[in-house]
Amino acid sequence: MPGENYDEKALTANMQRAVQRCKETATQMVGMHGRADPGLLDSVKVAYPSDPNATYPLREFASVGTRDGALLVTCYDKDMVKHVERAIHLANLGLTPQTMGSGDEGILKIPIPRPTAETRTQLLKDVNRICENARVSIRAARHTAQKQIKRDTDSKIVGTSEAAKEQKKMDEEAKARQKEVEDFYNGLKRKIESERDT
């Protein structure tokens, strides 16, 4: 309706984005747990020596591959090895790059630690935190909807029966999204816990 504050499509889209972001982030985190995956270094930014204030993606300075359960970072310019190594340390990924050979080859080897009970417990906490952020976003969207519907009712833009229908629809949407996040979390939790048996 013209002048209506309540925007169902925008609020529903916010909830869907929160769920999608949660799924993508948590799935990537669990998928890379204990595996040598070049995507692990996607967040690494390297400072260029001539311009230390600017940072660039690692892939502009090196290629990343895997071999024998470790990541191999091959620098295009062997003079960049120190800078790439420093950038990996600064990324706080819990990885320790090691220079291979004499260092003249420009290759860093990054062993990927095997998962332990402690790392699985921490991973579960991290996944729970990500899912909780999605739950908070869903609740915030529902709360925003409640305020918008109340404003519309107070302004006499919509009647109380229409407002009740809109509120019920938004509550059902929020409940469905919360269940989606909960089911997703429980599935990941089972996957992480089943790794203990292997």
- 193 lies in the same domain as 120: yes
pTM: 0.65
By three-state DSSP, how is residue 52 classified? strand
What range does the domain containing 51 cover?
38-111
**Torsion angles phi and psi, residue 59, rounded to 5:** -65, -15
Q: What is the mean pLDDT of residues 15-23?
A: 92
- 103 lies in the same domain as 139: no
- 80 lies in the same domain as 129: no
Is residue 179 in a domain? yes
- 43 lies in the same domain as 67: yes
Residue at which a domain ends, from 111, 140, 169: 111
pLDDT at 193: 82
pLDDT at 32: 67
pLDDT at 103: 61
Q: Is the pLDDT of residue 1 over 60?
A: no
What is the rounded distance in angstroms from the CA atom of residue 105 to the CA atom of residue 131? 43
Q: What is the pLDDT of residues 114-165, one digit of tens each?
A: 778 888 888 899 999 999 999 999 999 999 989 988 888 888 888 889 889 9
pLDDT at 40: 80
Q: What is the mean pLDDT of residues 70-90?
A: 89
Name every residue whose Cβ is closer than 8 Å to that of residue 45 and which is 6 or more positions away in sequence.
55, 56, 57, 58, 87, 91
Beta bridge partners of 65: 72
Q: What is the pLDDT of residues 97-114, one digit of tens each?
A: 888 876 667 889 988 877
**Torsion angles phi and psi, residue 106, rounded to 5:** 75, 35
pLDDT at 2: 54
- Number of folded domains that form the chain: 2
